[in-house]
């Protein structure tokens, strides 16, 4: 059986990490080999780029450079880790992928749609996730949850309006590709969030 590519998306405080663990455990119980990874990052080299992208001291980083760095890290991640895993039949669970670029660099920063489109085609025109779980919740609630965590990175220091645009861009992406996306109400408590996801996994992936 070929591998599947599942991505988790969502703004700050959506609970992606916790959900990822649960999804991985559940898939492994069903006998799948699972690779858990994240973006930006996922390989030694791409993690170096992540450090640059998230470093709060790199405030001079221009929008276009940020966008290209994201896709450079992604190209490396795909070539070194994601494609080989899928090729050997593993299931890949990835915390953020190109939808996050559409949301953060497109929606949040307002970078041109045609730039993101050109880079997406260049880097993975042939590959899209089989399923994308979008953990959606109101920005206020997400930021409140995230504020209880460690120090904010370069993105987490952005304005409320920025995250509002990120959320809207995510929801637009989901509406444009309903066959791939599944929007999960992440404002509810973990067990309810998991119950929603469990149904989706059963129906779409392991039937």
Residues that bind its own copies (CB under 8 A): 43-46, 48-49, 52, 58, 60-62, 64-65, 68-69, 71-73, 75-76, 79-80, 115, 118-119, 122-123
Structure tokens at 20: 């990822």
Q: Which is nearer to its own copies, 80 or 156 (CB)?
A: 80
Q: How far is the CB of 183 from its own copies (least distance, A)?
A: 30
Q: Closer CB to its own copies, residue 65 or residue 199? A: 65
The distance from CA 196 to its chain's CA centroid, rounded to whole angstroms, is 18
Cβ distance to its own copies smaller for residue 43 or 132: 43
**Minimum CB distance to its own copies smaller for 7 or for 76:** 76
Minimum separation from the CB atom of position 42 to its own copies (A)? 12
Q: Shortest Cβ distance from residue 31 to its own copies (Å)?
A: 31
Cβ proximity to its own copies: between 122 and 175 the closer is: 122
Contact 14, 102 (CB under 8 A): no
| Helices 63-77 and 44-54, packing angle to 10 deg | 160
Cα torsion through 141, 145, 148, 151, rounded to 10: -90
CB of 68 to its own copies, least distance (A): 4
Residue 88 φ then ψ, to 5°: -90, 10
- Do 129 and 97 contact (CB within 8 A), yes or no? yes
Considering the complex, what minimum distance in angstroms separates the CB of residue 121 from its own copies? 8
Asked if 156 contacts 11 with a C-beta cutoff of 8 angstroms, the reply is: no
Alpha-carbon gap, residue 113 to 164, rounded angstroms: 18
């Amino acid at each position: 059986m070929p591998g599947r590519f599942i991505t988790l998306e969502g703004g700050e405080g959506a609970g992606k990490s916790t959900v990822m663990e649960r999804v991985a455990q559940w898939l492994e119980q069903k006998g799948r080999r699972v690779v858990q990874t994240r973006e930006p990052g996922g390989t030694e080299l791409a993690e170096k780029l992540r450090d640059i992208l998230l470093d709060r001291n790199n405030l001079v980083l221009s929008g276009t450079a940020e966008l290209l760095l994201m896709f450079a890290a992604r190209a490396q991640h795909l070539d070194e880790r994601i494609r080989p895993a899928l090729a050997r039949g593993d299931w890949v669970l990835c915390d953020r992928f190109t939808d996050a670029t559409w949301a953060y660099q497109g929606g949040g920063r307002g970078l041109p749609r045609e730039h993101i489109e050109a880079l997406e085609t260049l880097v993975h025109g042939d590959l899209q996730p089989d399923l994308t779980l979008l953990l959606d919740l109101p920005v206020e609630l997400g930021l409140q949850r995230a504020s209880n965590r460690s120090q904010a990175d370069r993105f987490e220091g952005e304005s409320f309006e920025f995250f509002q645009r990120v959320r809207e861009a995510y929801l637009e992406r989901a509406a444009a590709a309903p066959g791939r996306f599944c929007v999960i109400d992440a404002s509810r408590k973990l067990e309810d969030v998991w119950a929603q996801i469990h149904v989706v996994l059963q129906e779409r992936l392991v039937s």
